[in-house]
Chains A and B, each alone.
Chain A
Amino acid sequence: MQNARYNPPQRIMVKMCWAVVVAALACLTPAARAATWEQPAAELAKQIAALSGPGAVKLTLRNESGLAAVEIPAIQRLIERDLRGFGVVAGGKDSATLIRVTLSENLQGGLWVAEVVEGTETRVTMLRVNLGGATSASGPPNLVVQRALMITQSDPVLDAQIFTVGTLARLVVLEPEQIVTYVRSSAGLAFASAPAGGGWVEDQRFAIAHTRPYPRDMRGELVPAAQDHLFDAYLPSVQCAGTNTGAQIAVTCADSDDPWPVSGPVGNQVAGLVGGPTGVPQRAFYNAMRDFFTGVLAPGYGMDLPPFYQASDIPRPTGTGLLLNTVDGRLLLIENNTLKPIAGTNDWGSDFAVLRSECGSGVQVLVSGSGAASAGDSLRVYEVVGREAVAVSPPLPVEGAVMAIHAENNGTGATVIVRRDAPLRYEVWNGSALCH
């Protein structure tokens, strides 16, 4: 079999990515970080001075926290400088007053502790310090796809999509208990305060009322509405509709067992067909007590299907096929009213999205990794050639676990939800295939 060939690397894009990385690294240099410690160093110096009073002291400092060693001298200099402002002069080796500063931390964050030892008496003062991202030098997931962080937050995210009305783009984030909308901040690309990143600021939020308990492995999906409103949100036994009301959005939710749409946008835009040879969009019934679709499609193909986790249209040489990832770990393709198993998917996880790109055949499948993931998750791009899934990129590690992948509305990218621990947070990435 002939391997797919790809376009040469997009050098401008690569350079832009490097520029972002270099800029981010520059922000973490000790000189830049020193400014972060100005305020806590001043506060701790004030507390120390209140205990010791003015005079010469011997100052020691040790680091029992996750702060990088290169940051410690700068912090010590700041504390010594601020102590001088209160008449406390560090450096007196023979001084009767010893000040032991320990940069410690606990589950809530940094804890700077100063012990003022004078003879047999030790007095202690403590200061809680926001370490921010200082203890972590880890960067964003190193994906093979071109990517941009849309938001990061502590609450679980099920899906996130951008819906545009006129010139106003809204980021809609689907959570289990609420829908939150964001608009672009006036500061353009400047990063907004948490939870939103990438210039998004919160606009509206709507509670999702549901009468039945949710399943433990919670899933949900945002899809563009066909006619009279902006979007639909599907959750287990609940459906919400988002309507544009001028400058604002209105959302209404109700209990529903209606099937979820599974005909993705790629089929629409690439092949000009919707939902297979019949041209009818396919919908799938979701098992609201579990985490999968029952296998019953509407209107269906006249065949019995096993329960599956995800389904998506995929353009094929003969029209549009439907790709299914079954609960028992197989990948199936419905093509020309025939159900065919696809080989080469042992490394596939449960989530995938079909993407349209300018590389290779023009259609790729973005897939999360399979199996136990004690070393983290991964993303990989495949093409479905004949009855075989062919990897067209190396697996690239993701720091965290990929919780869901949803095709974007325009079919060129995917929303990737990543869960990261310690501290727990959910990241929403926009990913698309990057040509090699």
Chain B
Amino acid sequence: MVRRFVISPCVLWLPLACLTLSAAARTRPHYGGTLRIETQGDPWQMPDGIARRLVLDTLTTVSDAGSAQPALAVRWESQNAAHRWEFWIRAGVHFQDGEPLTSDAVAAALTDVCSRAGAGTCPWRTVRGVGSSVVFTSDSPVADLPEMLAQTEFAIARQDVKAAVIGTGPFRVTGYTNGALTLAANDDCWSGRPFADAVEVRTRRTVRDQWLDLSVGRADVVEVPPELLRQAQQQRMNLLVSRPADLLALTIAPSGPFASREMRQAATLAVDRMALYNVIFQKQGEVTASLLPAELSGYAFLFPSDRDLDRARALRGGATSPPIMLSVSDTSATMQLAAQRLALNLHEAGFNLQVATASRPTVALELQKVHLEATDPGAALDQMLAHFGENGSVTGTDAATLWQEERGVLDKETIVPLLWLPRAWAVGERVRDLHILSDGEPDLSDASLEGGK
């Protein structure tokens, strides 16, 4: 019998140690120094670009338990059965260019987010500034709007005359040269000046280059993909490992060869999650058939994740399958390997699959990696449903309602959750008090450096 849940020892260990390096500040943090971080991606990419968190703030943040906490908004109130929300803006906050943060500026920033992201992205119909508060109205109730507004997608940003991004966060942008984004401490930040004087983000660095830079002291924080966690542990790197933060999922277009639900169900039953977990991702993360991690929902075990090849074959029938294209949203070698493994799984059920080397707009199957930012179950499900193009927001907050809504979506057999993966970072010896945020990103604003002043 295949186990439904597999959680690596490190993930079990997470609440105690993996999330924080030197969490206990036995000596007080020092001020000063430049923190150097390297990434493969774009520091401004949505939703998890590292610079977004350092420069911008959100109206709320979420606690480890997933509940909304004050940030740029100090309090909020739901009215008219969650069709109207009012958020009161913190007084005395300034953008990094000295402009005061007003409710009108917040409303303008959020309106800009919605217009750039396209229709349906934002759960509200209108947002406007009224005195010291911002008022949201929506056609349907949005019970978890405070938790949703904690996502960096809804961060409050302005652009100056040179089109540079300005926020209210702990760091401000000072330059971008030779692939390195430089940020300086915001002395007047409402949440306190950060400990480091500056942050340097070197972008588009391969993992190999990042690890080399860390080993020779040219970088302080570098990425560790989940499939390389074991190797990093063997190399005795100082590691920070997050909770499950990325969902690996297969999407099936309900048209063409998968127009019938039986065919989609056949594909779902044919995937071998354990092989992905054991072979491709080196036993990191957790096997899942749910859109939410087990620790977030508590009910993930209700979605069976076992492979049933006989039933998959029976559902598919004996007809010859036309060639079907499987696309991958991410061009990394690991994702390509995962796609090839899935193609093999489906081939065993009688499907004739070809793996595309790049993401294509119209394909029957797509392997995706989806970053989860929310830690409130309702907001997290909302985020996932929005990502997969499921309209409407979650109407309830209790576990039974969420499970029913999720089951309703998964029963269509168009989304096949496969694995929840952690995010991991290797950290140099001079870095202190670096925490991992609930979505797996490092909290550089609270980190300090040995030898600072």
Q: A-side interface residues toward B, CB under 8 Å?
A: 64, 102, 104-108, 111, 113, 115, 124-126, 128, 211, 213-218, 289-292, 309, 327, 329, 349-351, 368-374, 376-378, 400-403, 419, 421-424
Q: Interface digits, B279-295 against A, CB 8 Å rule (1 contact, 0 not)?
A: 00000000000000011
Task: Select one of A125, A291, A373, A421 contacting B26, CB under 8 A.
Answer: A373
Flag B7-33 by CB within 8 Å of A: 1 or 0 each.
Answer: 000000001110011111111111100
> Are A104 and B298 also in contact (CB < 8 A) when A213-B188, A401-B24 are?
yes
Instruction: Note all chain B residues with C-beta closer than 8 A to A289.
Output: 187, 193
Docked-complex contact A111 and B399, CB < 8 angstroms: yes
Binds A, one of B58-66, B79-87, B154-162, B322-330: B58-66
The residue of chain B having its C-beta at the shortest distance from the C-beta of A113 within the complex is: B299
Residues of B within 8 A of A115 (CB): 302
List 10 A-B pairs, Cβ < 8 Å. Answer: A113-B301, A290-B31, A291-B29, A291-B31, A327-B453, A329-B27, A351-B28, A372-B432, A401-B25, A421-B23
The yes or no answer to B398 lying at the interface (CB within 8 A) is: yes
CB of A107 within 8 A of CB of B295, answer: yes
Q: Contacts A106-B399, A213-B192, A424-B64 known; A400 to B299 CB distance under 8 Å?
A: no
The reply to whether B26 and A370 contact each other, CB–CB distance below 8 Å, is yes
In the complex, the answer to whether A216 meets B23 with C-beta atoms within 8 Å is no
Q: Which of B26, B294, B375 contacts A377 (CB 8 A)?
A: B26
A374: B residues at CB distance < 8 A: 17, 21-23
Query: Is B296 engaged at the interface, CB distance under 8 Å to the other chain?
Result: yes
Q: Are B28 and A106 in contact (CB under 8 A)?
A: no
Closest Cβ of chain B to A307, distance in Å, is 9
B299 surroundings in chain A (CB, below 8 A): 104, 111, 113, 124, 126
| Alpha-carbon distance A327/B298, docked complex (angstroms) | 46
Find the B residue at minimum CB distance from A108.
B65
B30 touches which of A327, A349, A373 (Cβ 8 Å): A327
- Beta-carbon contact of B26 and A128 below 8 Å: no
Whether the Cβ atoms of A216 and B193 lie closer than 8 Å is: yes
Indicate if the CB atoms of A377 and B28 lie closer than 8 Å: no
| B363 interfacial contact with A, CB 8 Å | no
Within 8 A of A (CB), among B167-217: 187-195
B187 with A105: CB separation less than 8 A? no
State the CA gap A378–B294 with chains docked (Å). 34
Partner of A292, one of B20, B28, B399: B28
Q: Are A215 and B64 in contact (CB under 8 A)?
A: no
The 7 tightest CB contacts between A and B, nearest first, are: A401-B24, A106-B298, A216-B192, A111-B298, A373-B24, A350-B28, A372-B22
Identify whether the interface residues of B are mostly helix, strand, loop, or mixed.
loop
- Is B92 part of the binding interface, using a Cβ–Cβ cutoff of 8 Å? yes
Which chain A residues border B95 with CB–CB below 8 Å? none
Give B305 Cβ to nearest chain A Cβ, in Å: 14
Tell whether B136 is near chain A: CB-to-CB under 8 Å: no
- Counted as pairs of residues, one from A and one from B, with CB atoms less than 8 Å apart, the total is 134
A191 to B347, CA, bound (A): 64
| Contact, CB under 8 Å: B15 / A422 | yes
B23 contacts A368, C-beta separation under 8 Å: no
Nearest CB of chain B from residue A154's CB, rounded to whole Å = 9
B297, CB-defined interface residue at 8 Å: yes
Whether A124 touches B400, Cβ cut-off 8 Å, given contacts A64-B301, A350-B28, A374-B17, is yes
**Distance in angstroms between the alpha carbons of A218 and B28 in the assembled complex:** 10
Q: How large is the interface on B (under 10, 10 to 19, 20 to 34, 35 or more residues)?
A: 35 or more
Q: Which residue of A lies closest to B438 (CB)?
A: A107
Given A104-B298, A106-B298, A113-B298, A373 and B16 touching (CB < 8 A)?
Answer: no
Instruction: Collect the chain A residues with CB atoms within 8 Å of residue B302's CB.
Output: 113, 115, 124
Residues of A within 8 A of B297 (CB): 106
- B351 located at the interface, meaning its Cβ lies under 8 Å from any Cβ of chain A in the complex: no
B403 at the A/B interface (Cβ < 8 Å)? yes
> Which residues of the partner chain B approach A216 to less than 8 Å between Cβ atoms?
29, 191-195, 445-446
Which residue on chain B has the smallest CB distance to residue A369? B26
Complex-state Cα separation, A422 to B20, whole angstroms: 12
Q: Does B123 contact A (CB under 8 A)?
A: no
> Considering residues A102, A218, A373, which has the most beta carbons from chain B within 10 angstroms of its beta carbon?
A373
CB nearest to B445 among chain A residues: A216
Nearest Cβ distance between residue A367 and chain B, in whole angstroms? 10
Determine the distance from Cα of A424 to Cα of B64 in the docked complex, in whole angstroms.
8
Closest to B293 in A: A106
B442 at the interface (CB under 8 A from A): no
> Across the interface, do B298 and A401 meet the contact criterion of CB distance under 8 Å?
no
CA distance A235 to B156 in the complex (A): 30
- What's the minimum C-beta distance from B236 to chain A, rounded to whole angstroms? 13
- B377 at interface, CB cutoff 8 A: yes
Q: Which of A213, A291, A377 contacts B191 (CB 8 A)?
A: A213
> Cβ of A403 and Cβ of B25 under 8 Å apart?
yes
Q: Given A213-B191, A216-B191, are A126 and B403 neighbors across the interface (CB < 8 Å)?
A: yes
Given contacts A128-B399, A372-B26, A402-B24, 6 further A-B contacts (CB under 8 A): A113-B298, A291-B29, A292-B28, A373-B26, A401-B25, A424-B64
With both beta carbons as reference points, the residue of chain A lying nearest to B189 in the complex is identified as: A213
B399 in contact with A126 (CB, 8 Å): yes
> Smallest distance from the beta carbon of A352 to chain B beta carbons, Å?
12
| Most A-side CB within 10 Å, residue of B66, B190, B193, B377 | B193
The distance from the CB of A403 to the nearest CB of chain B, in whole angstroms, is 7
Which residues on B sit within 8 Å (CB–CB) of A107? 64-66, 295-296, 375, 377
Q: Give CA–CA (A179, B297) in the complex, Å.
A: 37
Residue of B nearest to A424 (CB): B64
CB distance from B415 to the nearest CB of A (A): 20
Least CB distance, B38 to chain A, in whole angstroms = 22
User: B398, A128: Cβ atoms under 8 Å?
Assistant: yes
Within 46-79 of B, Cβ neighbours of A (below 8 Å) are at 63-66
Q: Which residues of B contact A376 (CB under 8 A)?
A: 24
Residue ID in chain B nearest A214 by CB atoms: B192
By the criterion CB–CB under 8 Å, are A371 and B375 in contact?
no
Q: Are A400 and B28 in contact (CB under 8 A)?
A: no
Proximity bits, B402-428, A CB within 8 Å = 1, else 0: 010000000000000000000000000
Q: Give CA–CA (A376, B24) in the complex, Å.
A: 6
Cross-chain contact of A213 among B190, B296, B445 (Cβ < 8 A): B190
Do residues B27 and A423 form an inter-chain contact, with CB atoms below 8 A? no
Contacts of B24 in A (CB 8 A): 373, 376-377, 400-402, 419
Tell me the minimal C-beta distance from B245 to chain A in angstroms.
14
A311 → chain B, closest Cβ, in Å? Answer: 14
Chain B residues lying within 8 Å of A106, measured Cβ to Cβ, are: 294-298, 377, 399
Of chain A, the residue at the smallest CB distance from B448 is A217
Complex CA–CA separation, A104 to B432 (angstroms): 35
Point out the residues of chain A lying under 8 angstroms from B92, CB to CB. Answer: 211, 213
